């Protein structure tokens, strides 16, 4: 095995053009880490924000750096003889953002607790787009909101990477689910279980919901049409709003306090939760979750993948094929 690998790196912060394909030292395996030959890597908005100098950029220890947090691939080296992950196993998982060299590369060394065996009913490209988005949806729907049977939930941007998992998880745990999306995604979201789909281009969600909701999962914030602030108007007294995108609603707690009515608010920071990821993998294996890959780019075209993510309006996930 060569001591070098191909990786998409950044040596400075800026536009998509700062992404450069280079040969770098192969990922170093230490402690309980599993060395994985990456077949595909998910592309997420946090990657684009970090590349541009926002997001997690202030935590990157040195440049050049490899972006990316989620991946699917085949185990190359196990950390020890009786590890649950053995050479040849198909796995998918996540590495801590800005703490580990990322997944836009031929190899990644990932903590054992941050990866799981890939369900056989997912392709590598499908699996690569699952971990970060699905764990974010899990944290918002299950860990924070504790959504359960009989609750009403509004999910903004339901057709996106996090959103389409959130819709399915909320329905799986028994909630009534409304979501906002463009018209071309309405039928698909109903197939995923949404009870009401609102065309945000032509309808105001506060005008068409027929009753208050218990929880709003805000995947937009106030960067578009004051979506976050307007969401307070559809919450029941004592309801909860969970705002996810970094920097999308700076005044959330002030506005919630001013609104009164016992409203609650929380942000969300992703945890690399291997236990939750195993549950998510089981839900896929059972057919209770599905994913959608909107586009696949070769590793060399990571810049174009970032441009696509930055445009928004993605159905599901954007993925890099690291073998091409």
List pLDDT tens digits, range 141-152. Answer: 999 999 999 999
On the question of pLDDT at 115 being above 90, the answer is yes
Q: Which domain holds residue 196?
A: 133-266
Task: Kindly state whether residue 271 falls inside one of the protein's structural domains.
Answer: no
Across residues 229-255, what is the average pLDDT? 95
d(CA 181, CA 162): 13
Across residues 208-214, what is the average pLDDT? 96
Residue in this structure with the two tokens 């949806």, named with its chain if needed: 137
At 246, the pLDDT band (50, 70, 90 cuts) reads confident
At 282, the pLDDT band (50, 70, 90 cuts) reads very high
- Give the pLDDT confidence score for residue 135 in this predicted structure: 97
Same domain, 114 and 161: no
Across residues 82-93, what is the average pLDDT? 97
Same domain, 220 and 309: no
- Give the pLDDT confidence score for residue 270 in this predicted structure: 86
How far is Cα of residue 200 from the mean position of the Cα atoms in its chain? 22
Same domain, 120 and 182: no
Which 3-state string (H, E, C) describes the chain? CCCEEEEEEECCCCCHHHEEEEEEECCCCCCCCEEEEEEEEEECHHHHHHHCCCCCHHHCCCCCEECCCEEEEEEEECCCCCCCCCCCCEEEEECCCCCCCCCCECEEEECHHHEEECCCCCCHHHHHCCHHHHHHHHHHHHHHCCCCCCCEEEECCCCCHHHHHHHHHHHHCCCEEEEEECHHHHHHHHHHCCCEEEECCCCCHHHHCCCCEEEEEECCHHHCCCHHHHHHHHEEEEEEEEECCCCCCCCHHHHHHHHCCCCEEECCCCCCCHHHHHHHHHHHHHCCCCCCEEEEEEHHHHHHHHHHHHHCCCCCEEEEECCC
Same domain, 190 and 237: yes
Across residues 56-68, what is the average pLDDT? 95
Query: What is the percent of the chain with per-residue pLDDT over 70, rounded to a whole number?
Result: 100
What the block records as the tokens of 111 is: 């903590």
Task: Kindly state whether residue 280 falls inside one of the protein's structural domains.
Answer: no
- Give the pLDDT confidence score for residue 57 in this predicted structure: 94
Task: Kindly state whether residue 279 falls inside one of the protein's structural domains.
Answer: no
Across residues 160-166, what is the average pLDDT? 96
d(CA 65, CA 45): 17
Same domain, 118 and 149: no
The residue length of the chain stands at 324
Q: What is the pTM of this model?
A: 0.94
Question: Mean pLDDT of all residues in the chain?
Answer: 95
Task: Kindly state whether residue 54 falls inside one of the protein's structural domains.
Answer: yes
Contact between 245 and 251 under an 8 Å Cβ cutoff? The reply is no
On the question of pLDDT at 293 being above 90, the answer is yes
On the question of pLDDT at 1 being above 80, the answer is no
Task: Kindly state whether residue 286 falls inside one of the protein's structural domains.
Answer: no
Task: Kindly state whether residue 272 falls inside one of the protein's structural domains.
Answer: no
At 97, the pLDDT band (50, 70, 90 cuts) reads confident
- What's the number of domains the chain is made of? 2
Same domain, 137 and 262: yes
CATH number for position 10: 3.90.180.10
Across residues 119-131, what is the average pLDDT? 98
Q: Which of 229, 250, 266 is the last residue of a domain?
A: 266
On the question of pLDDT at 173 being above 80, the answer is yes
Q: Which of 226, 251, 266 is the last residue of a domain?
A: 266
Across residues 70-82, what is the average pLDDT? 97
Across residues 187-210, what is the average pLDDT? 96
- Give the pLDDT confidence score for residue 247 in this predicted structure: 86
CATH number for position 206: 3.40.50.720
What the block records as the tokens of 324 is: 């091409």
């Amino acid at each position: 095995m060569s001591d070098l690998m191909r990786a998409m790196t950044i040596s400075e912060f800026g536009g998509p053009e700062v992404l450069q394909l280079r040969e770098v030292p192969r990922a170093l395996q230490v402690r309980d880490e599993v060395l994985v030959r990456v077949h595909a890597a998910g592309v997420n908005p946090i990657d684009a924000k970090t590349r541009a100098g926002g997001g997690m950029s202030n935590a990157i220890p040195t440049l050049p750096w490899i972006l990316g947090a989620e991946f699917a691939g085949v185990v190359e080296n196990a950390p020890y003889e009786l590890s649950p992950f053995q050479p040849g196993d198909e796995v998918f998982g996540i590495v801590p953002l800005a703490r580990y060299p990322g997944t836009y590369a031929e190899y990644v060394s990932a903590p054992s607790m941050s990866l799981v065996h890939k369900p056989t009913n997912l392709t590598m490209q499908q699996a690569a787009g699952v971990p970060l988005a699905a764990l974010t949806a899990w944290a918002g729907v299950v860990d924070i909101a504790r959504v359960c049977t009989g609750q009403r939930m509004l999910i903004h941007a339901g057709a996106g990477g996090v959103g389409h998992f959130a819709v399915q998880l909320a329905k799986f745990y028994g909630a009534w689910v409304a979501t906002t999306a463009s018209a071309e995604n309405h039928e698909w979201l109903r197939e995923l279980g949404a009870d009401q789909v609102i065309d945000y281009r032509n309808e105001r969600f506060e005008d068409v919901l027929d009753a208050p909701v218990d929880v709003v999962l805000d995947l937009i914030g106030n960067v578009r049409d004051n979506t976050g602030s307007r969401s307070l108007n559809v919450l029941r007294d004592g309801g909860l709003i969970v705002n996810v995108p970094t920097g999308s609603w700076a005044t959330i707690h002030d506005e919630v306090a001013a609104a009164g009515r016992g409203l609650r608010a929380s942000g969300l920071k992703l945890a690399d939760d291997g236990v939750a990821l195993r549950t998510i993998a089981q839900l896929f294996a059972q057919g209770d979750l599905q994913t959608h890959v909107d586009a696949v780019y070769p590793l060399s075209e990571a810049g174009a993948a970032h441009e696509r993510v930055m445009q928004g309006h993605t159905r599901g996930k954007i993925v890099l094929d690291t073998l091409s």
